[in-house]
């Protein structure tokens, strides 16, 4: 088990007392004294209900303290009078000062690297050990997702240290700390009040990632793509793991080189969701690709079966299941707008179900190629008015109408008559296309339906268990409302 240390800047006495209360879910609290010249330490430290770490960092160590080194040490000494449990000092400060201050509190010696994650961290740990601290803390910067591996390897070789990476790419190591044996992870109280880059909030760690349930046996899943920051997959998959009592966690992997990533993370992870831009490129690095994913020419799911990677496409079945909640598909005339990754998956599913498909797309050549691959009709997007006539179902599989372009629609409102409209865009929940269709008394299927169905299929592939679809839907709706 790893402890969560809530960290925040102590600026005034009242604010610090308030923030100490907000940290009630944490195991420890780190008070950053960088701007605490006017804080009444007696008052705040008498209010503590958790073990407190004090630290004060200047600019060279990523902090905000602006005085001299002597003033910094004096500030720490002033706080030490009121008995915090730990003092955190940088590995490169004067050894005499370390000797003096450690008499008043337990000692954390920390190494920070704000540029990168060096490979030779063992040497750094060995140097710090000579100072005989109560705890060692190694904090580096991840520039690539693979930098987290250096930290995981360090943790495997050194029990009883705290180690993680800073930066957006370092979030993975902060979340996975209990799995690799870090003693602590640090969390902010609010999103806009971080003491270091890449910190998650206390709420995110405990509520989204179920941090307190993670341990060395937890199975790791995640999303690989670039960008991945706005994905809702961690929210729904982690909540589903919790609900189904599965010891697993789902994190975000922002990946630039998919081959390198799969080689390096294969041994640590059980499966992935795959998003843009790796849905096609990842395929050539897998051991086996399921038949319909092969036909579609793209995957969105990878499962690790005893070291062999299997690729699947759940967008196809997700879209078909969403459609079938409202209509039969066989012999229906369906206009599919779009010829990108999602459209390819949907077209393959529709064809298998016996629909009469017409494809239209902004770039006509792509519509033509997709139509040829599944043997169906295609038309230019400029002929939409004529193409729409007589269709039973229209599916928008373009990104038009997606946040932030929420005022746009691919079909003018006056053309929406007596037809079932399915929009696969799910952010916003109700796109302009869906609102226009509803206003014209058309039946509709929202993008969230396909999103939940494809995620549920993914969950089943990952765990062999049924996904709690209602819970998934509730969480996505809450997020997008």
Strands 271-274 and 301-305: antiparallel
Shortest gap between Cβ of 454 and ligand NAP (angstroms)?
A: 5
Among 342, 355, 411, 445, binds ligand NAP (CB under 6 A): 342
Nearest-CB residue for ligand NAP: 340
Asked if 341 is part of the footprint of ligand NAP (rule: CB under 6 A), the reply reads yes
Q: Locate 268 and state its tokens.
A: 């640590």
Q: In angstroms, rounded to a whole number, what is the distance separating the alpha carbons of residues 57 and 91? A: 12
Among 454, 456, 457, 468, binds ligand NAP (CB under 6 A): 454
Shortest gap between Cβ of 223 and ligand NAP (angstroms)?
A: 13
Decide: residue 404, CB within 10 A, 0-12 exposed, 13-18 middle, 19+ buried.
exposed
Asked if 362 is part of the footprint of ligand NAP (rule: CB under 6 A), the reply reads yes
Asked if 339 is part of the footprint of ligand NAP (rule: CB under 6 A), the reply reads yes
Shortest gap between Cβ of 385 and ligand NAP (angstroms)?
A: 15
Contact characters 411-440, ligand NAP, x per CB under 6 A: -------------xxx--------------
- Residues 6+ positions from 478 with CB-CB distance below 8 Å: none
Span from 137-145, 156-164, 399-407, 429-437 in contact with ligand NAP (CB under 6 A): 399-407
Which 100-129 residues touch ligand NAP, going by CB under 6 A?
Answer: none
Q: Locate 377 and state its tokens.
A: 């009709």
Contacts 24+ apart (CB under 8 A), 185-190: 185/2, 185/3, 185/4, 185/5, 185/211, 186/4, 186/5, 186/6, 186/7, 186/30, 187/4, 187/5, 187/6, 187/7, 187/26, 188/6, 188/7, 188/8, 189/6, 189/8, 189/19, 189/22, 189/23
Span from 127-135, 302-310, 351-359, 362-370 in contact with ligand NAP (CB under 6 A): 362-370
CB 286 within 8 A of CB 426: no
Among 133, 170, 222, 338, binds ligand NAP (CB under 6 A): 338
Among 253, 261, 451, 462, binds ligand NAP (CB under 6 A): 451
Shortest gap between Cβ of 304 and ligand NAP (angstroms)?
A: 23
Asked if 473 is part of the footprint of ligand NAP (rule: CB under 6 A), the reply reads no
The CA-atom distances, in angstroms, between 243 and each of 179, 240, 251, 264, 468 are 20, 5, 17, 30, 8
Asked if 450 is part of the footprint of ligand NAP (rule: CB under 6 A), the reply reads yes
Q: In angstroms, rounded to a whole number, what is the distance separating the alpha carbons of residues 228 and 201? A: 18
Span from 47-55, 91-99, 246-254, 396-404 in contact with ligand NAP (CB under 6 A): 396-404
CB 117 within 8 A of CB 150: yes
- Catalytically active residues are 112, 137, 279, 315
Asked if 340 is part of the footprint of ligand NAP (rule: CB under 6 A), the reply reads yes
Which 281-320 residues touch ligand NAP, going by CB under 6 A?
Answer: 315, 318
Asked if 399 is part of the footprint of ligand NAP (rule: CB under 6 A), the reply reads yes
> Hey, is 138 helix, strand or coil?
strand
> Hey, is 266 helix, strand or coil?
coil
Nearest to ligand NAP of 169, 454 (CB atom): 454
Asked if 366 is part of the footprint of ligand NAP (rule: CB under 6 A), the reply reads yes
**Rounded (10°) angle between helices 233-243 and 469-480:** 150
Q: Which residues bind ligand NAP (CB under 6 A)?
A: 315, 318, 338-343, 361-363, 366, 397-400, 402, 424-426, 447, 450-451, 454
């Amino acid at each position: 088990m790893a402890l969560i240390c809530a960290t925040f800047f102590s600026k005034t006495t009242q604010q610090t007392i308030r923030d100490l209360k907000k940290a009630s879910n944490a195991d420890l609290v780190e008070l950053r004294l960088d701007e605490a010249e006017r804080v009444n330490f007696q008052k705040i430290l008498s209010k503590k209900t958790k073990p407190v770490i004090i630290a004060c960092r200047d600019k060279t160590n990523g902090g905000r303290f602006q005085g001299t080194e002597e003033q910094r040490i004096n500030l720490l000494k002033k706080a030490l009078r009121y008995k915090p449990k730990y003092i955190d000092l940088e590995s490169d400060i004067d050894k005499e000062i370390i000797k003096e201050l450690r008499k008043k509190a337990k000692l954390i010696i920390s190494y920070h690297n704000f540029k990168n994650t060096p490979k030779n961290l063992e040497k750094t740990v060995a140097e710090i050990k000579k100072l005989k601290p109560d705890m060692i803390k190694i904090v580096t910067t991840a520039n690539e997702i693979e930098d987290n591996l250096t930290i995981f390897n360090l943790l495997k070789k050194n029990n009883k240290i705290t180690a993680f990476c800073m930066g957006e790419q370092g979030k993975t190591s902060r979340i996975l700390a209990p799995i690799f044996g870090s003693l602590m992870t640090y969390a902010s109280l609010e999103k806009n009040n971080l003491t270091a880059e890449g910190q998650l909030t206390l709420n995110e760690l405990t509520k989204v990632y179920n941090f307190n349930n993670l341990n060395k046996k937890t199975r790791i899943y995640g999303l690989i793509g670039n960008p991945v920051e706005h994905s809702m997959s961690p929210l729904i998959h982690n909540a589903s793991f919790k609900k189904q009592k599965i010891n697993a966690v789902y994190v975000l992997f922002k990946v630039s080189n998919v081959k390198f990533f799969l080689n390096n993370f294969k041994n640590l992870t059980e499966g992935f969701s795959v998003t843009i831009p790796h849905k096609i490129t990842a395929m050539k690095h897998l051991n086996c690709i399921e038949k319909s994913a092969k036909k579609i020419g793209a995957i969105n799911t990878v499962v690790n079966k005893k070291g062999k990677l299997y690729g699947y496409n759940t967008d196809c079945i997700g879209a078909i299941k969403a459609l079938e909640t409202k209509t039969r598909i066989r012999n229906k005339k369906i206009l599919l707008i779009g010829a990108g990754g999602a459209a390819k998956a949907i077209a393959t599913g529709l064809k298998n179900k016996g629909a009469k498909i017409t494809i239209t797309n902004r770039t006509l050549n792509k519509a033509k190629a997709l139509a040829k691959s599944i043997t169906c009709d295609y038309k230019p997007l400029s002929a939409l008015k004529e193409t729409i006539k007589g269709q039973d179902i229209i599916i928008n599989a373009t990104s038009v109408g997606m946040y932030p372009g929420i005022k746009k629609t691919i079909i003018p409102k006056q053309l929406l008559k007596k037809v079932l409209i399915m929009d696969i865009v799910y952010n916003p929940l109700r796109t302009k296309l869906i609102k226009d269709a509803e206003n014209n008394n058309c039946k509709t299927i929202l993008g969230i339906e396909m999103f939940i169905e494809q995620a549920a299929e993914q969950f089943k592939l990952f765990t062999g268990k049924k996904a709690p679809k209602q819970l998934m839907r509730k969480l996505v709706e809450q997020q997008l409302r």
